[in-house]
Amino acid sequence: MKNFTYGRASSVEEVIEQANRDRNAMYIAGGTNLVDRMKAFLDEPSQLLDISRLEMQSIERTQDGGLRIDALVTNTDLANNANVRRDYPLLSRAILAGASQQIRNMATVGGNLMQRTRCAYYYDTAFACNKRQPGTGCPAINGINRIHAILGASDRCVAVNPSDMSVALAALDATVEVQGEQGQRDIPFVDFHRLPGDTPERDTNLEPGELITAVVLPPMAFAQSGVYLKLRDRASYAFALVSVAAAVELSGDQISTARIALGGVAHKPWRASEAEAFLQGQTPNQSTFEQAADIALQEAQPLAYNAFKVDLSRRAIRRALAVSSRGGGIA
Amino acid sequence: MNQIIGTSVSRKDGRAKVTGTATYGAEHQLPDLVHGYLITAKIANGRILNIDTQAIERSPGVMAVFTHENMPRVFTPTNDWANSQIYETRLPLADDRVHYGGQIIGLVVADTLERARDAAHSAAIEYQEEPVLVTAENATYEDSPPWFGEDFQFQEGTFETGDFAVAAADAPTTLEATYNTETELNSPMEPHALVAHWQGNDSVTVYEPTQWVRVSQGTYAELFGLPTERVRVVSPYVGGAFGAKAFPWPHGILCVAAARELQRPLKVVVSRRQMTANTGHRSQTEQTVRLAANTDGQLIALEHTARTCTSPVEVFSEPCTAVTPVMYATPNLRLGQELAVLNVGTPTFMRAPGEAPGMFALESAMDELAWELGLDPVELRLRNETQEHQRRGGVFSTKNFAACLSTGAEQFGWSQRQMQPRSQQQGDRLVGWGMAAATFPGYRGAAMAKVRLLPDETAHVLTSANDMGTGAYTMVAMTAAENLGLPVEQVRVEIGDSIMPDGGLAGGSQMTATLAPAVMNACQAVLETANAENAQQAFASLQESGRAAYEATGSAAPGEEGTEFTFQSWGAHFCEVTVDEDIARLQITRWVSVMDIGRVLNAKTAASQIRGGVIMGIGSALMEECHFDPASGHPVVYDLATYHVPAHADIPRIEVTFVGEPDLNFNPMGVRGAGEIGIMGVAPAVANAVYHATGKRIRSLPIIPDKII
């Protein structure tokens, strides 16, 4: 680990200016992933800009009835927020399905969005990795790739995004508020994370020096029926093999709107837009859900060790849709 | 006797552990301490062409760097299990060869851990790479030599009695199946670590967690050409070991050697990631079981062959077939062990070495046979009981296996079982019940302990034995309290230091059977010295005489009893699983274990040991597996994020009951060990329950969602 300086930010504007002066500086809040990465020699920042004491810790109603969640709200506080539990239960459940209580107490909303893949090849500097060192190659493609991507991967990178919370935010059509030297801008959640393409070193569409300030949830009445289903190798404290955030809005006997996002399958939280479009106007039954699941996975390209994820994803989608169409709850 | 033995006593070291005052190996603070960090190979087979040591030496804070080119001279230990033993016969930095990914190829010493680590990470190393073999399917297997080292011939590989082929050919029912288990990592909570402190060139203190203080001391003495008493090994607490902390590993030898060169106290902590290659693991196994039986379930013939892997620099042959001749009476028995060499780190003892994976194959096959015959699996096991060890001879001294089965079946409600697979449901989940037998040898060694009676009315027990979380402190205190007629609170126990009398090995589940009789003898000896019937009388006589203490040393060792008897513990596990088949989600919902471990010394810690074994067994059944990148040979599972062990949410309430009787042929306390039998039979009990739930026989561990779907 290289020596670095550490300083506490006194304002958003000032810390952004500091970050823009030094491209090797990094923001730190909870540090639950960044510190691990530094210890593994994956990140070697010149300075850590500690934003954790900035006044960005509240959750407030927006004028249109949604929620504005400051970037420094801890995962624990967000999951336990009464409005979130009532109006967006899938978000609460997604957060509680991840990490451990201790980590959730430290981790923040903004940091959760910025966590990087847990691909074992990325995490060990004994291996080449295009994400860590662009152009060196991806040994995971022909290696032990059981936990890797089945959707949207490239010949440069097959890593998956590890976040649970982000899968729920993708399904909820959230917006990410970011601030940079040029001022503030909004990024639709589905455009926040990137597919690997030729530049797997870039996880997100944040510009250098930009800081996440908030995540905004639009009002969504049917989110109360939302479901988060996480399938993994042990009952707690493991990343998703496959996860699904889903919500179904019914109008009489028909589905009027559906949302499906998948975790553990791609380099970003994966919105199954075509499957959502198909569900519109359909009758909620097993056959419908099966067709939707098939559509969601039709582009899947499994690797040597992860073909099971295709089938598991389909099954998880069917289950999540079925539970949501019955009003939600634990899937 | 004041009847302390057999009661439940909370562990004496518990408060120190939860409040952080228990001092583990790396926590010993010494003035002028410097820090070492291991350099590990980034190739898995080949040669080191060059290490730019000059660049490393220029790194801030670096005081020295050791590679194969300047490795200090150490002597080859005799490796006789009595005086010395090392895990990996190749000495550290012996030459320029790299045999496996992550192998130790150097050590950087610096003034701080961070600077040592940074310099080690930045080291520029040129290699000549050679082809790597880490995939067992591509390996060449040969008949296995003995288990581990020439002096450790507990179980030779191949064995045959009767004629398997002829007997099997005529049998009405036959069954053949192949079972696989994956590479498992011991994964103790406390990483491997030590502090070496030389006093000049002829005396050294090593603060290191070890399961065998005396042999650790003897090994370092031989390695550095010192009389034994010039080496002191201090190991008051061991944060888990599971077989991997009995002897020095290369990092330990390297640390002590470097500390002598530098004449500074030196600490080396093996990182979790470095532990994967350099501190042992359980080999993957491939086992084939062939059973032949009469229509009533009586076994006629049994063949069990196992294939396991070792590293290029040590023979360690995971003895999977050791358990087979113990379990079921079979006139025609054939056992075979084969071994292949892979470019992986050296495997070693891991809780019930060989026995645990062997039991998965055997007890899965017995379950398959029960289904084949339409017999209750409990009944099938009862019909095939043996009263003697069919390989080494000797009738079992005590055996309450049938009571384990019947008590467990009753507690679990086994008689309510719907026979057919997929016949029990809870909502939309399938429910399965499974069972399997457990057994483990009763091992015992020699040990000594010293007891002092002091005027403050306390007894002080000293022995070099150690407590790796098992409850040894408490066991020693209870044994002394019982034999001195004192409350447990008045007994102080100091263990884990080679300046104390040799307390033996905490391995093979033998510490209690080894040490408790020695403590008992020491107590009797000290009372004799005091001419007292109990401690109170001795304390009174100390008061009267003004004498400072009464002190005596006692010892105990096995005699000839092993020629007549075989000592073996027994047990049975019953479990319930629910399987949400559509989404491949499995949960273990109930667990009952019934054990015969002889006399139970501390009911609380003994049950805790069994529970720990069950939890570790559930880990091997459902999630534990290490894999190696086929191209580079490097492990892709290397820490507690990638190597899954059970979380609380994976574990149901575990009911533990003991049904044994004192095994007085074994030792005067009648105790056998509890350390390993708990894991025995756990994985097959789970797999058998999964079959009952789903109708799907899963013959390869771990049972991950990929295999259920």
pLDDT band of B150, cuts 50, 70, 90: low
Please give the full DSSP string across A13-41, using - where no structure is assigned. Answer: HHHHHHHHH-TTEEEESS-TTHHHHHHTT
* CB-based contact, B633 to chain A, within 8 Å: no
Distance from CA of B186 to the nearest CA of A (A): 18
Q: Has residue B359 got a pLDDT over 60?
A: yes
Distance between B709 CA and the closest CA of chain A, angstroms: 7
Containing structural domain, residue A41: 5-52
Cα–Cα dist B524/B501, whole Å? 16
Q: What value does the mean pLDDT take over residues A63-90?
A: 98
- The beta-carbon neighbor of A126 closest among B42, B647, B709 is B42
- The pair phi, psi for residue A179, each rounded to 5°, is -130, 135
First to last CA, chain A: 43
Residues B602 and B696 occupy one common structural domain? yes
Give the pair of three-digit tokens for residue A293. Answer: 């699941």
Residue B376 has pLDDT above 60, yes or no: yes
Assess if residue A256 is contained within a domain. yes
The verdict on B58 touching A (C-beta cutoff 8 Å) is no
B518 lies in some domain = yes
Contact residues on chain A for B625, CB-CB shorter than 8 A: none
Whether residue A1 is predicted with pLDDT greater than 70 in this model: the reply is no
Would you say residue B169 lies in a domain? yes
Looking at beta carbons, which residues of chain B come within 8 Å of A139? 629, 631-632
pLDDT category of residue B147 using cuts at 50, 70 and 90: confident
Average pLDDT over residues A200-219: 98
- As a whole number, mean pLDDT of residues B407-415 equals 98
Shared domain for B201 and B233, answered yes or no, is yes
Using a CB–CB cutoff of 8 Å, tell me whether A290 touches chain B. Answer: no
Q: Taking a C-beta distance cutoff of 8 angstroms, is the pair B356, B621 a contact?
A: no
Please indicate, yes or no, whether residues B106 and B206 belong to a single structural domain of this protein.
yes
Q: pLDDT class for B151, splitting at 50, 70, 90?
A: low
Contact B628, A305 (CB under 8 A): no
Identify whether residues B54 and B80 lie together within a single domain: yes
Contact state of B709 with A311 under an 8 Å Cβ cutoff: yes
The reply to whether omega before B702 is within 30° of 0 (cis) is yes
B638: contact with A, CB 8 A cutoff: yes
Tell me the mean pLDDT in the region A102-126. Answer: 97
For residue B47, pLDDT beyond 90: yes
Say if residue B101 is in the same domain as residue B211: yes
Cβ contact (<8 Å) for A237 and B629? no
- Which positions in chain B touch A125 (Cβ < 8 Å)? 121
Instruction: Give B-chain residues touching A145 at CB under 8 angstroms.
Output: none
| Closest residue, chain A, to B581 (C-alpha) | A315
Beta carbons of A308 and B273 less than 8 Å apart: no
Contact at CB, A235 and B709, closer than 8 angstroms: no
Confidence of residue B428 (pLDDT cuts 50, 70, 90): confident
- Token code pair at residue B315: 């023979």
Domain boundary among B527, B557, B587: B557
What local confidence, expressed as pLDDT, does residue B330 receive?
A: 97
pLDDT for B360 beyond 50: yes
Q: Given B557, B584, B599, which residue is the final one in a domain?
A: B557
pLDDT > 60? residue B673: yes
Q: Once rounded to an integer, what is the mean pLDDT over residues B511-519?
A: 98
* Best B103, B583, B588, B648 residue to mutate vs chain A (most A CBs within 10 Å): B583
CB contact under 8 A, B121 and A41: yes
Residues B408 and B331 in one domain: yes
Q: Which of these, B511, B562, B513, lies nearest to B214 by C-alpha position?
A: B511
Query: Residue A290 is part of a domain; what is its CATH number?
Result: 3.30.390.50
Query: How far B695 CA lies from chain A's nearest CA (Å)?
Result: 20
CATH code of the domain containing B153:
3.30.365.10
Residues 6+ apart with CB under 8 A from A147: A118, A119, A160, A239, A241, A264, A306
Give B373→chain A minimum CA distance, Å.
34
CA angle A167/A169/A175 to nearest 5° reads 140
Closest to B683 in 3D by CA, of B625, B592, B622 = B622
Per-residue pLDDT for B345 more than 70? yes
Q: Are B221 and B253 found together in one domain?
A: yes
Residues B689 and B544 in one domain: no
Q: Judge if B378 and B332 occupy the same domain.
A: yes
Do the Cβ atoms of A171 and A145 come closer than 8 Å? no
**pLDDT tens digits, residue range A127-181?**
999 999 999 999 999 999 999 999 999 999 999 999 999 999 999 999 999 999 9
- Chain A residues closer than 8 Å to B39 by CB: none
Shared-domain flag, residues B210 and B249: yes
Contacts of residue A127 in chain B, CB cutoff 8 Å?
Answer: 629, 632, 634
The mean pLDDT of B145-172, rounded to a whole number, is 82
Name the percent of chain B lying above pLDDT 70: 98
Could you tell me if B325 and B393 lie in one domain?
yes
pLDDT of B1 above 60:
no
pLDDT at B154 over 60: no
- Domain count across chain B: 3
Q: How would DSSP label each residue in B67-83? A: -TTTPPP-PPP---SSS
Asked if the structure places residue B7 within a domain, the reply is no
Check A312 against B641: CB less than 8 A apart: no
pLDDT tens track for B168-206: 999 999 999 999 999 999 999 999 999 999 999 999 999
Residues B583 and B625 in one domain: yes
Which residue among B101, B102, B629 sits closest to A143, beta carbon to beta carbon?
A: B629
Q: Can you tell me the distance from the alpha carbon of B518 to that of B669, in angstroms, rounded to the nearest whole number?
A: 10
Range of the domain at B205: 32-131+188-241+245-278
Query: pLDDT class for B153, splitting at 50, 70, 90?
Result: low
Interchain proximity A312–B584, CB inside 8 Å: yes
pLDDT score at A184? 97
Residue B127 domain flag: yes
Q: Is the pLDDT of residue B156 over 80?
A: no
Q: Which residues of chain B does A231 touch, with a Cβ-Cβ cutoff of 8 Å?
A: 583-585, 705
Instruction: Give chain A positions within 8 Å (CB) of B587.
Output: 235
Q: Does the beta-carbon distance from A231 to B585 stay under 8 Å?
A: yes
Q: Tell whether A234 is within 8 A of chain B (Cβ).
A: yes
Say whether residue B272 is in contact with chain A using an 8 A CB cutoff: no
Q: State the smallest CA–CA distance between residue B649 and chain A in angstroms.
A: 6
Q: What is the CATH number of the domain that holds A13?
A: 3.30.43.10
Q: What are residue B143's DSSP bridge partners? A: B338
Which of A125, A145, A227, A237 is best to mutate for the B interface (most B CBs within 10 A)? A237
Q: Is the pLDDT of residue B357 over 50?
A: yes
pLDDT of B626 > 60? The answer is yes
For the stretch A224-283, pLDDT in tens is 999 999 999 999 999 999 999 999 999 999 999 999 999 999 999 999 999 999 999 999
Distance of alpha carbon A93 from alpha carbon A230, whole angstroms? 10
Q: How confident is the model at residue A47 (pLDDT cuts 50, 70, 90)?
A: very high
Are A316 and B102 within 8 A, CB to CB? no
Q: Which residues contact B105 (CB under 8 A, 6 or more apart)?
A: B39, B40, B41, B48, B51, B67, B68, B93, B98, B125
Q: What is the 3-state secondary structure (H, E, C) of B28-45?
A: CCCCCCEEEEEEECCCCC
Does B634 map to a domain? Answer: yes
Q: What is the per-residue pLDDT for B152?
A: 61
Q: Indicate whether B462 belongs to any domain.
A: yes
B137 touches chain A (CB under 8 A): no
Rounded to a whole number, what is the distance in Å from the CA of B648 to chain A's nearest CA? Answer: 8
* Last-in-domain residue among B516, B531, B557: B557
Q: Is residue A141 part of a domain?
A: no
Q: Please state the domain count of chain A.
A: 2
Across the interface, whether the CB atoms of B637 and A120 are under 8 A apart is answered yes
3-state SS assignment for residue B102: coil
